[in-house]
């Protein structure tokens, strides 16, 4: 993977991910952001397994590909660079980030380790609905039970006052 991207465009996208990724995580790949370069753009993906975020920005892609980078470290490096174009390229199991007189090499984790997320508006939601419809009805019973308490919250308050749940 080889690409050139403007610092401000890249920084704006990386800033979005800082609230999702955590540096100290029990699953190391979740501290990374997935970068995919293709065509005339670079796409980013990060998740904490509860929330996922996708983003993209314009870039000059010389060679397409994908890799994962430590999100916080990458953000800090990009933030400290001068306002110029940033070159990002694969480099022997890592990635080289360069701009003007600056050059850094960062370790990456395998792209295959990154969790897959459903495509936005894709079939994953439809598949889940179809599976629920084929189920034995327990999901509907749980949903109806929750709805009853949401519609009549005073029932919960009366039961709590009476010492029952």
In a 13 Å sphere around the CA of 108, the CA atoms on its Cβ side amount to: 25
Residues paired with residue 23 on neighbouring β-strands, in sequence order? none
Share of the chain above pLDDT 90, in %: 54
* 153 vs 119 pLDDT, higher one: 119
* 87 vs 24 pLDDT, higher one: 87
How confident is the model over 3-8, as a mean pLDDT?
95
Q: List Cβ neighbours of 164 (8 Å cut-off, separation of 6 or more).
A: none
Contact at 8 Å (CB) between 21 and 48? yes
DSSP 119: P
Quote the pLDDT of residue 55.
Answer: 93
Q: Name the one residue in this structure whose structure tokens are 């295959």.
A: 112
Contact at 8 Å (CB) between 26 and 13? no
Would you place residue 138 in the very low, low, confident or very high pLDDT band (cuts 50, 70, 90)? very low
Residues of each domain in the chain carrying CATH 3.10.150.10: 2-113
Quote the pLDDT of residue 22.
Answer: 79
Q: How far is CA 8 from CA 11, 77, 136, in A?
A: 5, 13, 53
> Tokens for 134?
């084929």
Q: Name the one residue in this structure whose structure tokens are 């949401």.
A: 150
Q: Name the one residue in this structure whose structure tokens are 């749980």.
A: 142
Quote the pLDDT of residue 57.
Answer: 94
Quote the pLDDT of residue 89.
Answer: 95
CATH number of 2-113: 3.10.150.10
């Amino acid at each position: 993977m080889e690409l050139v991207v403007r610092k401000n465009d890249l920084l704006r996208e990386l800033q979005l991910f800082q609230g999702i990724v955590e540096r100290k995580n029990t699953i190391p790949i979740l501290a990374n952001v997935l970068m995919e370069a293709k065509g005339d753009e670079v796409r980013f993906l990060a998740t904490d397994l509860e929330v996922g975020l996708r983003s993209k920005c314009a870039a000059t892609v010389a060679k397409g590909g994908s890799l994962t980078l430590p999100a916080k470290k990458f953000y800090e490096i990009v933030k400290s660079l001068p306002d110029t174009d940033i070159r990002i390229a694969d480099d022997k199991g890592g990635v080289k980030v360069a701009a003007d007189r600056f050059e850094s090499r960062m370790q990456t984790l395998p792209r295959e380790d990154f969790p897959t997320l459903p495509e936005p508006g894709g079939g994953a939601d439809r598949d889940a609905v179809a599976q629920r419809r084929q189920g034995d009805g327990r999901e509907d019973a749980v949903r109806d039970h929750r709805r009853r308490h949401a519609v009549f919250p005073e029932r919960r308050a009366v039961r709590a006052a009476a010492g029952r749940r």
